[in-house]
Amino acid sequence: MLIASCFVLAFMGWVMRLGYPGAVLGAGALAGSIAIFRKKDSKHRSAAVIGAIASGIVVFGAIGNGNEKSRSEAAKAASIEEARQKAEASRAHEEDVSSRIAALVASTAPQEAVDLCNSFGDVGAIPEKGRAGCGVAYLAKGRESLAAAKLAEAVPLLERASALSPGNADAATALSSARELRGKEDFKNKGPEVSAGLARALTHAKAKEWEAAETELNAADATLKAFEGLEVAKSKEWNMLSGQAAQQRKRIQPGLEKLELQRQAQKVMVEMRGEKPLNSPWDGSVPEVERYLKKVMNDPDSYEHVSSSAPVARDAYWIVKSSFRGKNAFGGKVINTRYFFIQQGQVVRVEE
């Protein structure tokens, strides 16, 4: 009986998953159950009632599943249609922009074409059909700026032209010329700055201010490196400054190495020292010192704190100066003052 019930439930589920066809089957089963129930002298009325209930469940379940399938298919169709319309609109926009760029380039108005191309931001965002036109516009405007000696404006324009037309020899040549001219112009301003920086580095080195000297040399090297690959880097002045920087770096290297060793030693000491002990907010005592004294005193119960300094870092220790009362070997109370050396939360040494 149990196995039969499982098969019936599985069959009902399968029919409901059919959707509207399942509803038709369920309606047929419902009609059959009603007919059996209405038949006179029927011996299967109880089974007919159960069948009618099951058929009703199947009908409603199948209709609901059919409605869900219909909604899902409609949403899918709407999504596909929306994507198609967006793609068509994008293609139409690309065609329109590309034709506008071409028209502006043809009308010898490179600035307007450049403005339109710049509206896309990065060159990678320019529509495929408009890339060639933008490349021509950037090249034309870049040459115009180069002829007017507007090098700061010409180089970015020609860089975009080269990016859009990688095989364009004219764009590559114009870009190379613009970079060379800008390099010469920039070096006229940067050369004296590098020279002044090297002079400051030398002053710091003489005063054994190794870090400050290194900072100045790093700035000078970075400035000189920016001109590598250009003709100006072959000039006498550039090579002289580069040589001075190398010579000064060689001079400060021993000092930097010594400073690094000191840093490493300091790091080790900090690790050996451990966390800083804290004075008690109640009486100013240091718990590490109190624990140590109660451990070594003849009469721990006689310990009384008098005063304690704030822990001071020195080498691999936290040092605390503490005064306290306690009974001596003869039973008399005395005041003692000692320096306590603490590492990793433990007193490791005591000095008077």
- Residue 159 belongs to domain spanning: 110-167
Residue 8 pLDDT:
42
Residue 4 has pLDDT above 50, yes or no: no
Over residues 318-332, mean pLDDT:
86
Q: Tell me: do 35 and 70 sit in the same domain.
A: yes
Q: Tell me: do 258 and 292 sit in the same domain.
A: no
- Give the model's confidence band at 230: pLDDT under 50 very low, under 70 low, under 90 confident, else very high: confident
Domains: count for the chain: 4
In a domain, 179, yes or no: no
Residue 118 pLDDT:
78
Q: Which of 219, 240, 271 is the last residue of a domain?
A: 271
Q: Which of 61, 77, 93 is the last residue of a domain?
A: 77
Q: Tell me: do 312 and 254 sit in the same domain.
A: no
Task: Give the CA distances from residue 251 to residues 5, 49, 193, 199, 320, in Å, rounded to whole numbers and listed in that order.
Answer: 95, 105, 21, 14, 42
Residue 91 pLDDT:
62
Q: What percent of the chain has pLDDT over 70?
A: 70
The verdict on pTM exceeding 0.95 is no
CA nearest to 221, candidates 254, 183, 190: 190
In a domain, 99, yes or no: no
In a domain, 194, yes or no: yes
Over residues 187-211, mean pLDDT:
90
In a domain, 276, yes or no: no
- CA 81/CA 166 separation, integer angstroms: 38
Instruction: Lowest mean pLDDT of 25-39, 175-189, 283-297, 306-320, name the range.
Output: 25-39
The answer to whether 162 and 171 have CB atoms below 8 angstroms apart is yes
Over residues 258-263, mean pLDDT:
87
In a domain, 182, yes or no: no
Q: Tell me: do 148 and 201 sit in the same domain.
A: no
Count Cα atoms within 13 angstroms, Cβ side, for 186.
Answer: 20
Q: Which of 59, 77, 95 is the last residue of a domain?
A: 77
Q: Tell me: do 194 and 255 sit in the same domain.
A: yes
Quick check: helix, strand or coil at residue 333? strand
Q: Tell me: do 191 and 259 sit in the same domain.
A: yes
Work out the mean pLDDT of the chain and round it to a whole number.
78
